[in-house]
Amino acid sequence: MRTTNEAVGRDEPNGVVIPASRYPHGYASVRSLTRADIRTIVAVADKHLPVAASRFCDEVVRVPPSYEILAYKDALLGIAARSDVYTIIPHRPQDTYVLSKYHDEFDQYVSLVVPPLETLKRVHDRKQLMDIAERTEVPVPETRLLDEATEWDVDRVVKSRYNLLVDEYIDSYEPSESSIVKSVQHVPSNESLNIATTCEAMDHVPIVQEYIDGTDEYVFGALYDHGEPLATFQHRQIRGDSYTGGGGVYRESVEIPSLEAVGRAVLDELEWHGLACIEYIEDAATGEFKLVEINPRMWQSLACAAASGADFPYWYWLQVIGNSDSIEPGYEVGVGTHYMIGELEYLTSIVRDDSSIVGRPPLSAAIKEVLLSCFEMPNFDYCHVDDPLPTVRLARSEVSHGIRRRMT
């Protein structure tokens, strides 16, 4: 483990590894750390990703795809062993799992802020997480395992029991493989499911939750130190990448005391350590914030926190070097940011997606809504005048993918 210091100068190891994907949170971290004069080492499976074109990216290192989890772990470990590397910030779904499960291997080289594996298992298991939240009196949707909800006559949502599918959780998985099941199935109260077929498609018995007619979705982001909050952040998700929900593509920073209370309650109960992104739905009937899931890493909409002044990548750095007292939490309310590819996915979903529970908005009204919000709040995850190349590369990549899809 790197020895912690009051500060780390240029003559000390100050490289930070950022495992990045096509999503924009890796780019937000690169911009944050470069402003603090910290060297950024971006680990990617595809060197053509937008973040790799950034002038703020000091180095790009090729690694295997994160779903090849052992090969991915070995590649990250090889980078961690370099003398110029101080820490790794988890961004991808597999990152915290790898850094936690193999903590002893990484700890000899780098300083990390991740929860113990046993705590992480309780968060990755959405059924167990809901049980923990209920014990702490945090509102949750009623949640059952699918094979235990055969006669449940309410509108409901079926989704993966686990945030991440790995051999630790699923017997049929090899230690070398992992996957993410993002599919969400809406089932009206008057319809039944073929349980065996659904379980086979998801590789395990998923969970089924009562559908919450929500007025809004929210994210509560946090950085914790052994059960103590160092900094928190909230945003309201105005649009997801589908009209039925999904990852936030237009969000606005908020500060709601009751959301802060339920966010902290769960993490306090878990004696959390490290990063956490908690998703909530505001129940239209009760006004309660109901827990959806926890992602134990930097979140996709990190750019909204950064634009609001909540500098989590730099705050993570201060924590790993033993300088948490220098963290100055707080942020500006009412700042919105857009992930433009996600906005296009949202509009596309209105044409292609279907839900028997969530009403489809008119396409023309949705287009006007997106354009108006971009005019009124022109803050974008990738588009920055001081660093245009990531936007150029992103546009080129999306056009290329669109052409290939039409030809196949």
Please give the average per-residue pLDDT across 241-254, as a whole number: 90
pLDDT reported for residue 327:
97
Whether 70 maps to a domain, the answer reads no
Whether 196 maps to a domain, the answer reads yes
In percent, the amount of the chain with pLDDT more than 70 equals 94
Alpha-carbon distance of 41 to 80, in angstroms, equals: 11
Instruction: Please give the single-letter amino acid code of residue 246.
Output: G
pLDDT reported for residue 46:
92
Listed as own residue / partner, the contacts of 106-110 with beta carbons closer than 8 Å and 24 or more positions apart are: 106/76, 106/77, 106/80, 107/1, 108/1, 109/1, 109/2, 109/77, 109/80, 109/81, 109/85, 110/1, 110/2, 110/80, 110/85, 110/86
- pLDDT score of 7 more than 70: no
pLDDT reported for residue 401:
55
Question: pLDDT tens digits, residue range 12-49?
Answer: 678 999 999 989 999 999 999 999 999 999 999 998 99
- Which helix (H) or strand (E) segment holds residue 295: the answer is strand 289-295
- pLDDT score of 325 more than 60: yes
- CA distances in angstroms from 283 to 53, 194, 218, listed in the order given: 42, 29, 11
Q: What is the DSSP letter of 108?
A: T
Question: pLDDT tens digits, residue range 178-208?
Answer: 999 888 888 998 888 889 999 988 889 999 9
Please give the average per-residue pLDDT across 222-232, as a whole number: 98
Question: 110-119 burial by CB neighbour count: b if 16+ within 10 A, else e?
Answer: bbbbbbebeb
Q: What residue numbers bound the domain in which 189 lies?
A: 142-210
Alpha-carbon distance of 283 to 149, in angstroms, equals: 22
**Residue 349 pLDDT level (bands cut at 50, 70, 90):** very high
pLDDT reported for residue 398:
67
Looking at the DSSP bridge assignments, the partners of residue 85 are 15
pLDDT reported for residue 405:
45
Please give the average per-residue pLDDT across 225-244, as a whole number: 94
pLDDT reported for residue 359:
85
CB distance 54 to 381 below 8 Å: no
More confidently predicted of 73 and 356? 73
**Residue 355 pLDDT level (bands cut at 50, 70, 90):** confident
**Tokens 């709601």 -> residue:** 256
CB distance 115 to 274 below 8 Å: yes
pLDDT reported for residue 298:
97
Nearest to 100 by CA among 262, 272, 235, 293: 272
Question: pLDDT tens digits, residue range 140-178?
Answer: 999 999 998 877 888 999 999 999 999 999 999 999 999
Question: pLDDT tens digits, residue range 83-140?
Answer: 999 999 999 999 999 999 999 999 999 999 999 999 999 999 999 999 999 999 999 9
Whether 147 maps to a domain, the answer reads yes
Question: pLDDT tens digits, residue range 44-74?
Answer: 999 899 999 999 999 999 999 999 999 999 9
**Residue 358 pLDDT level (bands cut at 50, 70, 90):** confident
Average pLDDT of the residues of the chain: 91
More confidently predicted of 375 and 7? 375
- Non-local (6+) Cβ contacts of 344 within 8 A are 398
- Non-local (6+) Cβ contacts of 357 within 8 A are 155, 157, 186, 187, 188, 211
Whether 369 maps to a domain, the answer reads no
Instruction: Please give the single-letter amino acid code of residue 288.
Output: E
pLDDT reported for residue 72:
98
Whether 269 maps to a domain, the answer reads no
**How many structural domains comprise the chain?**
1
Alpha-carbon distance of 104 to 82, in angstroms, equals: 16
- DSSP for 338-405 reads E-HHHHHHHHHHHHH---SSSPPPPHHHHHHHHHHHHHHS--BSS--TT--HHHHHHHHHHHHHHHHH
- pLDDT score of 239 more than 80: yes
- pLDDT score of 406 more than 50: no
Looking at the DSSP bridge assignments, the partners of residue 96 are none
Instruction: Tell me the pTM.
Output: 0.91
